[in-house]
Amino acid sequence: MKKRILTGITTTGIPHIGNYVGAIRPALSMVEDADESFFFLADYHSIIKNNDPTNILNSVKSIALAWLSCGLDPNKSYFYKQSDVPEIMELSWILNCVTAKGLMNRAHAYKSATSLNDNDPDKGITMGLFSYPVLMAADILMFDSTHVPVGLDQVQHLEMTRDIAARFNHLYKSVLTLPEPMIKEKENVVPGLDGRKMSKSYGNVIPLLENEKNLKKSIMKIVTNSLEPGVPKETENCTIYNLYKNFADKSDISAFETSYKEGISWGEAKEKLFQVINAELMPIRSKYLELEKDTDYINDLLSDGAKKARSLAKTKILEIKEVTGITKIT
Ligand code: TRP
């Protein structure tokens, strides 16, 4: 069987270091190792929690630019917007019809949203939020993905995808491929400015595509304890250190550890962190500045990507519809 990797990023907010380290960089490093790779902008997922069209559109643009600036090669990978492949929506409905409501009741994202409500558990809950995992399953199953690189927070969605696919295969015919999650190691959770997981919903992100000055400004905002310069410091649970680890090589990391024992000041540690991050982002930033002006190029590229993805999706959806009885009268 072909190895097909697939992953998407929800298009709310601007791309940040967490997206880069957690999703974009590892996904792109797997391209050579796979037979086919699919990277997409989950814009239909983004309207679940965001009703601001300008925000969505800006986010689609900047996340598309982030993938491309980080080295995505549209000749090697499928690259498209979810909304440009309407077959995914058709599949999503079909999957809705085989998905147990009880399975969705157990989804973490839905449960944590209802747990914030006191009296009315349904307050602020849309059907979109409730069936979010079904749309994600459609994204994955549409292209017979075999491997899905995800963070720990998405593992449950992958299990649900497998459950839904197995149920479909059992009810109709075995036409859906059950994907494997490729889980990134726990220690690779990228901390944000306040030490919690870097996430647009926490507002603690370090932006990916900002200029040098703003990158530095952002890094200087990392929250630390109040230990003075000269006092030895712990690397464990230190946000600066945990970020540094994701950008430096082994020898730099051990030198950084030594400087902690020797009482490096937080200011200096942040400066060192800025240096390693900036060194890695420099070529990405210059590619971004070059591409950013050319919206026609990005639009053409995405419409081209959608065309290629749709040629696979059209064949697959016909097969799926046929086994469900949504087909020509004979
Ligand atoms: N739910 C994912 C996230 O928020 C984004 C996503 C949508 C996705 N569809 C996907 C990831 C399919 C992997 C595969 O991070």
Is the beta carbon of 154 within 6 A of some atom in ligand 1? Answer: yes
Q: Indicate if the pLDDT at residue 200 is higher than 90.
A: no
Instruction: Choose the residue to mutate in 4, 9, 182, 183 for probing ligand 1, maximizing ligand atoms within 8 Å of C-beta.
Output: 9
Domain annotation covers residue 239? yes
Residue pair 155/129 in contact by the 8 Å Cβ criterion: no
Q: Do 248 and 185 share a structural domain?
A: no
CA 216 to ligand 1 center in whole angstroms: 30
Residue 150, pLDDT score? 85
The mean pLDDT of the chain is 95
**DSSP category for residue 154:** G
In terms of domains, do 178 and 227 share one? Answer: no
How far apart CA 287 and CA 51 sit, in angstroms, is: 30
33 and 48 part of one domain: yes
Q: Is residue 100 part of a domain?
A: yes
196 in any annotated domain: no
One domain, residues 279 and 299: no
pLDDT attached to residue 5: 97
Does the pLDDT at position 185 exceed 70? no
Instruction: Give percent above pLDDT 90 in the chain.
Output: 88
Range of the domain at 230: 210-289
Same domain, 261 and 308: no
Stretch 297-315: mean pLDDT: 98
Beta strands per DSSP E along the chain: 4-10, 36-42, 78-81, 147-150, 180-183
Look at residues 304, 308, 281, 325 and name the one whose alpha carbon lies nearest to residue 21: 281
Distance CA 313, CA 139 (A): 10
Using the structure block, give the residue that is written with the tokens 């986010």.
59
Does one domain contain both 24 and 123? yes
Q: What is the CATH number of the domain that holds 24?
A: 3.40.50.620
Count of structural domains, the chain? 2
How many Å separate Cα 70 from the centre of its chain? Answer: 14
The pLDDT value given to residue 135:
98
**Residue 118: pLDDT band by 50, 70, 90 thresholds?**
confident
CA–CA separation, 113 vs 121, rounded Å? 9
Question: What is the reported pTM?
Answer: 0.93
- What was the pLDDT predicted at 159? 97
What number of H helices and E strands is found in the chain?
Answer: 15, 5
Q: What is the pLDDT of residues 211-255, one digit of tens each?
A: 999 999 999 999 999 999 999 999 999 999 999 999 999 999 999
38 half-sphere exposure, CB direction, 13 A CA radius: 26
Task: Please report whether residue 14 resides in a domain.
Answer: yes
Determine the residue of 5, 10, 95 to mutate for testing ligand 1's pocket, defined as the one with the most ligand atoms within 8 A of the Cβ atom.
Answer: 10
Residues 159 and 279 placed together within one structural domain of the fold: no
The confidence band for 119, taking pLDDT boundaries of 50, 70 and 90, is: confident
Please indicate, yes or no, whether residues 159 and 10 belong to a single structural domain of this protein: yes
Note whether residue 111 is domain-resident. Answer: yes
Ligand 1 in reach of 158 Cβ (< 6 A): no
Sign (positive or negative) of CA dihedral 219, 225, 226, 230: negative
Which 8-state DSSP code applies to residue 205? -
CA distance 35 to 31: 8
Q: SS3 for 306?
A: helix
d(CA 118, CA 123): 9
140 lines ligand 1 (CB under 6 A): yes
Same domain, residue pair 167 and 261: no
In a domain? residue 216:
yes
